Amino acid sequence: MIYLILAIIMNVALFLSFKSFPGLRINSFRAITFNYLVCVVTGILFSEVNLFQNLKISTASWIWIPIFMAAMFITTFYLLARTTQIYSVAIATVASKMSMVIPVIFSIYIFSFDIREFSILNYLGVIIALIAIILISIKNLHALFSMHFRDISIFFPVMVFLSGGLIDTMLNFVNRQHITENSRGFFVLFLFLIAFLIGLTILLLRKNLPTRRDIFGGIYLGIPNFFSVYFLLFALDDFNNNGAVIFPVLNIGTITLSSILAVLVFKEKFTINNLLGVGLAILSILLISYQDIYIYIK
């Protein structure tokens, strides 16, 4: 349970970091790119993994997975940063964490992991989750009928929802099917290294290198970023890779704590439908996972 609690704290730290970028005049993409280098350095110091030695002996059959995930990581992180800055910490958190619907469905119907069947309440939770995403993505209900779809920022929360779900699904799959206790540290470091190289390539092509502010932002973003993934993998092990338990508890904790800190630290204010969306998000998570949480508590 301790790893799950630590994963929640690290996830909250990520959203608070993104929210601080505009006030400190930190460029989101440049800081995100540098943050992955910080993740690699943090991982080497913390886990004492010989990245390059492991790279030589790594299994080619699954090496493509972290390469694909690295591209998804940097894309999703940028979407998270923009959603946090345009909307709020709470809205970005909910959009991201409601994505747990996707790995749960994949665990049951695609991967056929040993997880119980969905009940009517579980399906109701999925429907409520989708409604919650709509409610937190708009400032008021009237805006739903007067949206200008040429403004791509309207779709940021939805894109965060989809991309976050894909990442969680792949993490759950690779941790169950490919990663061993000895290769976990290498997997995480290799994932972050590829993400850094992708971001650096884009910056070099654009001739848009990080400033000192961006490097500073990358440092205090990168440390919790590394541990959010590292602790999540250990938490999955503790719960026998049961994503139907881990992701709901992780997401409820992150949504609740992020919302409280956003109000206290950044003085964020929510519209009625935003608050309703957050409430429905938590309700949907409970409906989706109530059997597993009850069994674990019992």
Count the Cβ atoms, other than its own, within 10 Å of residue 154: 15
Residue 214 is predicted with a pLDDT of: 94
CA 137/CA 180 separation, integer angstroms: 39
Q: Number of helices and strands (H, E) in the chain?
A: 12, 0
pLDDT tens per residue, range 31-83: 999 999 999 898 888 766 555 555 554 555 667 777 888 888 888 888 888 88
Mean pLDDT of the chain: 77
Query: Domain spans of the chain?
Result: 2-297
Say which range, 152-156, 172-176, 246-250, has the weakest mean pLDDT: 152-156
3-state secondary structure of 283: helix
Closest CA to 94 of 219, 255, 215: 255
Q: What is the pLDDT of residue 163?
A: 87
- The amino acid that residue 46 corresponds to is F
Kindly list the distances between the CA atom of residue 140 and the CA atoms of 10, 32, 134, 259, in Å, as whole numbers in the listed order: 31, 31, 10, 18
Segment holding 177, helix H or strand E:
helix 156-177
**Backbone phi and psi for residue 183, each to the nearest 5 degrees, phi listed first:** -100, -5
pLDDT at 202 over 80: yes
pTM of the entire structure? 0.74
Q: Where are the alpha helices (DSSP H) in 60-109?
A: 64-86, 89-97, 101-105
* Cβ–Cβ < 8 Å for 40, 227: no
Q: How far is CA 68 from the centre of its chain?
A: 16
d(CA 251, CA 266): 21
Q: Is the pLDDT of residue 148 over 60?
A: no
How far is it, in rounded angstroms, from Cα 57 to Cα 298? 43
Alpha-carbon gap, residue 67 to 71, rounded angstroms: 7
pLDDT attached to residue 144: 44
pLDDT number for residue 116: 57
Burial classification of residue 211, based on how many CB atoms lie within 10 Å of its CB (0-12 exposed, 13-18 middle, 19 or more buried): middle
Say how many Å lie between the first and final Cα of the chain, rounded.
Answer: 15
Q: Which of 127-131, 136-140, 205-209, 283-287 has the lowest mean pLDDT?
A: 136-140
Q: Which residue has the tokens 């959603």?
A: 83
CA 222 to chain centre: 14
